Amino acid sequence: MQKHILLLSLFFCLLPIRAIDYQNWMKDLDDNLLLKSLSIPGAHDAATSACSSSGLTGSAHTQTYTIAQQLAHGVRMFDLRPAWDGKDMVIYHGIVSTGVKFSDALTTLCDFLDAYPQEFIFVIMRHEDDGESDNQKAEWPKQMGKYLTEAKQYIIDFSPTLTVRDMRGKLLVMSRNTYDGGPLGGYLSGGSDNAVYDRKLTGPSGAYMTMSTQDMYDVAASGQLAKKVTAIKSMLATSIKERKNCLYLNHASGYSKKTSIFGYTFSSYEGVQECARTCNKAIIDYMQGKTGPMGFVMMDFAGDDEYQGQELIDLIINNCHNTSIQYQEKQDAIIEVKEETATSPVGGKAAVYDLSGRKINSQLSTFNCHLSILN
């Protein structure tokens, strides 16, 4: 028992950095981990790699790599924004078409799960209706219900009690809009805009969980980018404590500059770049020497070394692994305590050691108190 406690204490100070199998990095996670205990790297506006970086389309260009390439870099959460164009469901960013069909994006994700059934994927989705006609907007719920029903075998219904074991091989689709036959996965409701706010993720059973969200995306005004960095760090400080039964969605994405064409003002590609460089680095710097669940971290230029995109993914993955190892260590300690208690002398006394290795004879109540460091 003495050896176990000493090793566990050292472990929390010296957590390992391990080589990452990006295609299969979730396979070693403890099956009993809850969603709130995870750290997941995500791609904001994930389908925008083919958008031009100049002019109006530059405001939509937030990713270097395709969805398939992002998966290969370790990304496991995808921001997808489909619109109905009258013939097909196509992913947009604002009024800019990415040219990627929603069905193709779903196929890419599902094929990946077929190839790597120990992995699991999150999709956060909204109806991007900026460029739709009224008729197209009205048709969207019907068509979205159809597309998701076709992928139903891969989609898991949200519940606050979902574990890694439940999630393996599955998609959890979290939609900000309702659609026919839904929810398949869960609905996100409530919240605010360009702010830090709470909303609810509700599954088909009606069970829900709070999702605390930082999405200060327009930080072009003086001092706003610094405020976003502060908000990012504040949410990380809360999430890594893992005290509340809450999910966290922390956006490193946004834009710090705007431009205008013919009187129309929009985010500039340079502003997206500056925000990514600043926020990705801020998360990496803040998390040095820290461990604990980071929640969902949505970034621009995921996997791109120019923006420390791969370094950020690596940090998030390693944190998820370390949380899993800590959980396993705690469970092993609980099992060992139970075994020693079960074989303790008649009368309720057990052999107890303090952190210096001294043996203490104590009542069981004192014994349990002494082991509180493991909780």
What fold does the segment set 23-326 form as a domain? TIM Barrel (3.20.20)
Enter the tokens of residue 208: 């829900």
Neighbours of 322 (CB within 10 A): 20
- Kindly give, in sequence order, each residue whose CB lies less than 8 Å from that of residue 72, ignoring residues fewer than 6 positions away: 22, 23
At residue 6, the pLDDT reads 45
Residue ranges of domains in the chain: 23-326, 344-374
- pLDDT score recorded for residue 8: 46
The pTM of this model reads 0.86
Question: Which residues, in sequence order, are CB contacts of 297 under 8 Å at separation 6+?
Answer: 39, 40, 41, 42, 250, 252, 283, 312, 316
d(CA 141, CA 371): 54
Helices 309-342, 2-13: inter-axial angle, 10-degree rounding: 170
126 φ, ψ to 5°? Answer: -145, 155
Contact 220, 270 (CB under 8 A): no
DSSP-assigned beta bridge partners for residue 247: 211
Q: What is the pLDDT of residue 331?
A: 85
Q: What is the pLDDT of residue 261?
A: 82
What distance separates the 2 farthest-apart alpha carbons in the chain? 86
d(CA 161, CA 140): 31
pLDDT of residue 214: 98
- In this structure, what are the phi and psi dihedrals at residue 36, rounded to the nearest 5 degrees? -65, -15
Q: Are 36 and 293 in contact (CB under 8 A)?
A: yes
Closest CA to 313 of 326, 328, 294, 327: 294
Token output for 288: 């040095």
Name every residue whose Cβ is closer than 8 Å to that of residue 138 and which is 6 or more positions away in sequence. Answer: none
DSSP 247-289: EEEEE---BS-EEEETTEEEE-HHHHHHHHHHHHHHHHHHTTT
Give strand ranges (E) for the chain.
Answer: 39-43, 77-80, 82-84, 89-93, 96-101, 121-125, 171-175, 186-189, 196-202, 208-214, 246-251, 258-261, 264-267, 295-299, 349-353, 359-363
Contact residues for 152 (Cβ-Cβ < 8 A; gap 6+): 184
Separation CA 51–CA 60 (nearest Å): 7
**Going residue by residue through the chain (375 aa), what tens digit of pLDDT does each one get?**
444 444 444 444 444 556 899 999 999 999 999 999 999 999 999 999 999 998 888 889 999 999 999 999 999 999 999 999 999 999 999 999 999 999 999 999 999 999 999 999 999 999 999 999 999 999 999 999 999 999 999 999 999 999 999 999 999 999 999 999 999 999 999 999 999 999 999 999 999 999 999 999 999 999 999 999 999 999 999 999 977 899 999 999 999 999 988 778 889 999 999 999 999 999 999 999 999 999 999 999 999 999 999 999 999 999 999 999 999 998 877 766 666 666 665 544 555 544 444 555 544 433 343 333 333
Report the alpha-carbon distance of residue 336 to residue 363 in Å, rounded.
Answer: 18
